[in-house]
Amino acid sequence: MGLVVLKFGGSSVADTEAIQRVAWTIAETYSEGNNVVTVLSAQADTTDELIRKAKELNPNPSMREMDVLLSTGEQASVALMAMALEKLGLPVVSLTGWQIGMNTDSDYGSARIKSLSAERLKAELDRRRIVLVAGFQGVNKFDDITTIGRGGSDTTAVAIAVALNADLCKIYTDVDGVYTADPNKVPGAKKLDEITYDEMIELASLGAQILHNRSVEMAKRYGVKMEVLSSLHRKPGTIIKGVTKVEHTKISGVAKDSNIARIALVGLRDEPGVAFKVFRVLANAKINIDIILQSIGRDFTNDISFTVSREDMNKAIEILEENKDVIGYTEINTTDKIAKISIVGAGMMSSPGVAAMMFEALYDSKINIAMISTSEIKVSVLVDENDADRSVATIHAKFFGA
């Protein structure tokens, strides 16, 4: 007998039929003798729908009231699921974030989990009840409801797994695991049996939106084993853990991120402190920088280019223009017609030539690289937006076969 935390996303509980199907999965896990805590998201598009309704009444509602509103989606899901399980004759209780002692800070809309008391959870499990927990929500020190960011139910599930020292945290979703590339776009994409936390974090932040990134970071910090699997098919998914079996392939996946813009500052003085000034003013404005490239110009000048997310592009330009005299440059060039393509793999550290293989694949397809950046387990390139999908396909074929 073990203790498992299950989490089902919005599409897995979209309607009555889906709820009944999930109820059977929960019932089965429970009947095998496990203690079961299940975290649910709001049904299908409920959260988006609630946001739409709110904006209709007030384009700028207070974040506090937004959280009161948005937390109801998850509350409805757990109540409905409890009813479905009651119908199956099983002992069940549904609980909200505050009832389980999910304490967060007061950053409404993207609150951070501070602690989870878990007493109520343990008491219910001791009574052999199935516990259903509303995901994505907590309570702050003022006893007000908070939410922890879009997609946050994954993180709720991992936080519970940590607090209860669970054997496994299973994230059921509408894909059957983590793939070597987007299976909807790359025909040869393969499902991975295992992936490390670090690889998953990279793939998630690179735009393979399967899991809430904070959930994987938390799982890594506390060593919680996760599994991503389909709520429709009964087959094993992808296990996420610290160390994986030695794979035959050098990389775990190819990802595309289109939410990216490039800014180039031309004609900077070639002297100490210039890069510092550029990135200090941007950091003060809380703009995240990704790839940075400095190139040598002519006549004692430098160019610095870097990337930001598309929604930060205009703000970044504004800040740089405001500080033009302090920084000292002649021109700003920007484009958002680009995409970042990355390969990720823990195996990269021990096998040379991985980057070269990627560049060769792009060369074979006559795709020009605008910028390159590397880390221990990742190589990223910037390419023209129009070449993005072709880049993923050709790189994927190079590493995994067509």
* Residue 253 touching ligand ASP (CB under 6 A): no
**Shortest distance (Å) from residue 2 CB to ligand ASP:** 24
Residue of the chain from 5, 42, 178, 354 that contacts ligand ASP (CB under 6 A):
42
Reduce the DSSP state of residue 235 to 3 states and report it. coil
CB-nearer residue toward Mg ion: 35 or 153:
153
Query: Phi and psi dihedrals of 248, rounded to 5?
Result: -75, -35
Query: Could you say which of 10, 138, 253, 345 contacts ligand ASP (CB under 6 A)?
Result: 10
Closer residue to Mg ion in complex, CB, 136/329:
136
Residue 172 contact among ligand ASP, Mg ion, none, beta carbon within 5 to 8 Å by kind:
none
From the list ligand ASP, Mg ion, none, partner contacted by residue 135 (C-beta under 5 to 8 A by kind): ligand ASP
Cα separation, 140 vs 158, whole angstroms? 19
Return phi, psi of residue 64, to 5°: -60, -50
DSSP alpha helices (H): ranges in 206-293? 213-222, 274-284
Nearest approach, Cβ of residue 5 and ligand ASP (Å): 14
Q: How far is the CB of 54 from ligand ASP (least distance, A)?
A: 14
Among 97, 138, 152, 347, binds ligand ASP (CB under 6 A): 152
Instruction: Please say whether the beta carbons of 240 and 192 come within 8 A.
Output: no
Return the range that interacts with ligand ASP (CB under 6 A); candidates 30-38, 147-155, 173-181, 364-372: 147-155
Structure tokens at 223: 């060593």
For the record, the structure tokens of 54 come out as 């709110």
- Binding-site member from 11, 38, 47, 96 for ligand ASP (CB under 6 A): 47
Q: Is residue 5 a contact partner of residue 164, using CB atoms and an 8 Å limit?
A: yes
Task: Count interface residues toward ligand ASP (CB under 6 A).
Answer: 12
Pair 199, 345: CB distance under 8 Å: yes
Residues of span 139-168 touching Mg ion by CB under 5 A:
151
Listed residue (402, 352, 400, 376) closest to 180, CA to CA = 400
Under the criterion CB under 6 A, does residue 97 sit at the interface with ligand ASP?
no
Q: Tell me the closest approach of the beta carbon of residue 226 to Mg ion, in angstroms.
A: 13
What number of chain residues touch Mg ion (CB under 5 A)? Answer: 2
- Name which position in 136, 197, 306, 400 contacts ligand ASP (CB under 6 A): 136
Closest to ligand ASP by CB, 73 vs 253, is 73
Compare residues 211 and 313 and give the one whose CB is closer to ligand ASP. 211
Choosing from 6, 7, 8, 9, the residue that interacts with Mg ion (CB under 5 A) is 9
Angle between helices 153-164 and 119-126 (to 10 degrees): 70
Contact 262, 382 (CB under 8 A): yes
H or E element at residue 206: none
Cα-to-chain-centroid distance, residue 135: 16
* H or E stretch covering 305: strand 301-308
Whether the Cβ atoms of residue 392 and residue 186 lie closer than 8 Å to each other: yes
Whole-number Å distance between alpha carbons of 251 and 397 = 12
Looking at beta carbons only, is 136 or 172 nearer to ligand ASP? 136
Residues that bind ligand ASP (CB under 6 A): 9-10, 41-42, 47, 73, 135-136, 150-153
Residues that bind Mg ion (CB under 5 A): 9, 151
